[in-house]
Amino acid sequence: MRFVRYAILFCALVALFTGAMLYYGSTHRDEAQSALALLEEETLSPEEAAQEAARREAREAERLAEEAKRKEREARIEKLKEGMERIDSGSYTWYSYPEEKKLSGGLYVQPLLGHSRVSTFRCNILYYYSMHESSMRGWIFGDRFAIETDGERRTWEIEEKKRRDHLDKDVEFLTERSQIALGEDGAEVLRRAANARTARFIYWSTAEGKSVSHTLTNEEKRRLGNMIALYDLWQEP
């Protein structure tokens, strides 16, 4: 029995010693590598040492430049997002400028920029008609939406089941609401609209033959340009 106890005690001491050596090695590895690097430098010729120092300086300068570029990009992103609302929905975070609060008769379009692993654009479309208007346009039941830039038009279909029609309970106004995905070329269409001399949003019904349009103001083009710039930054690798 005494021999067994000695054997157990010996094994425990060996385990403790091994653990201590492993801990010492892991905590002093960086120091050993630094010391080895210094030793290697001492064995370099003056020319080689100067070249190694120049390479270290170049790597550090490159690191600092990348860091400055990253901070500048982040600051620009935050600047572009000023005035935008943020909504987290599903796998996307959506950015847009606030909707108009006071509505008069006409067409209102709110571009939405979705950001995730990839970025994409959508549009909220609102047609508002007041019963006091002189146009007598009434319901449109729109099934098409287009963005027209300097005479060039891109059209999207609106599914009837995704359009929400509403009549005010006091029969003072009516609205038609829908949202569409602009697809792969959406960013380029909006880019053209932001830079065009004349850009229009158009909403119409192929069955009813009725339509309504809105010409973008300079402020709306500026906001659209900000969204495109934000999209471009997020598309960078």
SS3 sequence of 59-111: HHHHHHHHHHHHHHHHHHHHHHCCCCEEEEECCEEEEECCCCCCCCCEEEEEE
β-pairing, 164-167 with 85-89? unpaired
Per-residue pLDDT band for 14 (boundaries 50, 70, 90) equals very low
Q: How many CB atoms lie within 10 A of CB 205?
A: 16
What's the pLDDT at 173?
94
- For the segment 16-50, what is each residue's pLDDT rounded down to a tens digit? 555 545 554 555 555 555 555 555 556 778 888 78
Query: In this model, does residue 4 exceed pLDDT 50?
Result: no
What's the pLDDT at 104?
85
- For the segment 59-70, what is each residue's pLDDT rounded down to a tens digit? 887 887 788 788
Side-chain-side CA neighbours of residue 25 (13 Å): 6
158's tokens = 């609106």
Per-residue pLDDT band for 179 (boundaries 50, 70, 90) equals very high
Distance of alpha carbon 93 from alpha carbon 119, whole angstroms: 9
Mean per-residue pLDDT of the chain:
85
**Most confident stretch, 39-53, 97-111, 217-231:** 217-231
- For the segment 131-142, what is each residue's pLDDT rounded down to a tens digit? 888 888 899 999
Query: In this model, does residue 221 exceed pLDDT 90?
Result: yes
Query: In this model, does residue 211 exceed pLDDT 80?
Result: yes
Q: Domain segments of the chain: what residues? A: 2-79, 87-235
What's the pLDDT at 48?
80
Query: In this model, does residue 88 exceed pLDDT 60?
Result: yes
Query: In this model, does residue 150 exceed pLDDT 70?
Result: yes
- Average pLDDT on 78-89 reads 95
